[in-house]
């Protein structure tokens, strides 16, 4: 009984979802709940949610608009852990910023979601790390594709890294 209650609580927490539960399954917004196996190195932790099972290993994200390989073609959103490292640009009162963002278009002109690390240099700091931000976000997949880009307005060596930690599927 506790397991069923937990599943119902998870389904109820979805935004604006119409929920119907029958003796053979549950449906959210008219779409069937997926309970089939997940992609390699992922395990189903809740209906429609697969989380990574192997160790965290962040890969460097590109400063050019780059396609992200989906772990499964049915992925509707990615759970991405990202790390933003901001180095000083050796300019007093400069604002140093690193942005990790995803897009639904191949030129990254449209922002779907993003993470930002921004800090002001109160003393000139030459290319040394002055801030690190670790984040976990849900980034939407639109039309079966997602692109990423890192925008760097910090000193040399500023960067972003990321790993897909999970995905929502249909």
SS3 at position 2: helix
Confidence of residue 154 (pLDDT cuts 50, 70, 90): confident
Residue 36, pLDDT score? 85
Q: Report the share of the chain in percent with pLDDT over 90.
A: 69
**Residues 164 and 57 sit within 8 Å (Cβ to Cβ):** no
Q: pLDDT, tens digit, for every residue of 77-102? A: 999 999 999 999 999 999 999 999 99
**Domain positions in the chain:** 1-33, 36-169
**Residues 60 and 148 sit within 8 Å (Cβ to Cβ):** no
* CATH level 2 (architecture), domain 36-169: Sandwich (2.60)
Q: Would the pTM of this model clear 0.95, i.e. be above it?
A: no
| pLDDT tops 90 at residue 2 | no
Q: Who wins on pLDDT, 26 or 149?
A: 149
Among all chains, which residue has been given the structure tokens 């790993």? 163
Highest average pLDDT, of 18-22, 31-35, 88-92, comes from: 88-92
**Residues 52 and 59 sit within 8 Å (Cβ to Cβ):** no
Q: Report the share of the chain in percent with pLDDT over 70.
A: 81
Q: Nearest CA to 152 among 113, 116, 106?
A: 116
Query: Residue 41 has what DSSP assignment?
Result: T
Q: pLDDT, tens digit, for every residue of 63-81? A: 999 999 999 999 999 999 9
Tokens linked to 16: 């604006």
Give residues with Cβ within 8 angstroms of 4, minimum separation 6: none
The pLDDT of 29-52, averaged and rounded, is: 85
| pLDDT tops 50 at residue 159 | yes
Cα–Cα dist 114/137, whole Å? 8
| pLDDT tops 70 at residue 114 | yes
- Give me the phi and psi of 69, to 5 degrees please: -70, 125
The pLDDT of 26-47, averaged and rounded, is: 77
**Residues 50 and 169 sit within 8 Å (Cβ to Cβ):** yes
């Amino acid at each position: 009984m506790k397991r069923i209650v937990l599943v119902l609580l998870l389904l109820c927490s979805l935004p604006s979802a119409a929920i119907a539960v029958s003796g053979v399954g549950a449906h959210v917004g008219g779409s069937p709940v997926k309970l089939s196996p997940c992609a390699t190195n992922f395990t189903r932790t809740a209906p429609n949610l697969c989380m990574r099972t192997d160790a965290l290993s962040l890969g460097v994200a590109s400063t050019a608009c780059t396609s992200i390989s989906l772990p499964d073609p049915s992925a509707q959103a990615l759970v991405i852990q990202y790390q933003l490292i901001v180095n000083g640009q050796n300019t007093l009162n400069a604002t140093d910023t690193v942005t990790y963002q995803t897009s639904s278009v191949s030129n990254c002109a449209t922002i779907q979601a993003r993470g930002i690390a921004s800090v002001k240099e109160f003393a000139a700091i030459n290319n040394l790390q002055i801030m690190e931000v670790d984040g976990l976000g849900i980034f939407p997949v639109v039309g079966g594709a997602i692109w990423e880009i890192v925008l760097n307005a910090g000193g040399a060596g500023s960067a972003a890294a990321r790993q897909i930690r999970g995905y929502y599927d249909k």
